[in-house]
Amino acid sequence: MTRSALLWLERLTALTLLLVIAALGWMILAEDLPTWLRLATAEAEVIVVGSLLVIALALVSALALWHTR
């Protein structure tokens, strides 16, 4: 992997981790949020947050793998 591709992967991973932090804060505040700040259903919220966590895990794992080589 070239240095520019690794830098791109690091930035994408950092952005994803920031989104995970924002999602965790959103979940904490979700009970007090007005309905217009929530997704259509609770199932949609679970899918969005779960997908974000899976993507973050995959990116962190890939980044760690490339740093060990």
pTM value is 0.80
Looking at residue 20, its pLDDT comes to 94
pLDDT one-digit tens code per residue, 18-41:
999 998 888 888 778 677 677 778
Domains of the chain by residue range: 3-68
Q: How far apart are CA 5 and CA 25, in angstroms?
A: 30
Q: How far apart are CA 1 and CA 12, in angstroms?
A: 15
With cut-offs at 50, 70 and 90, classify the pLDDT of residue 1: low
Kindly state the DSSP code that residue 5 receives in the 8-state scheme. H
Whose CA is closest to 26, among 11, 13, 39? 39
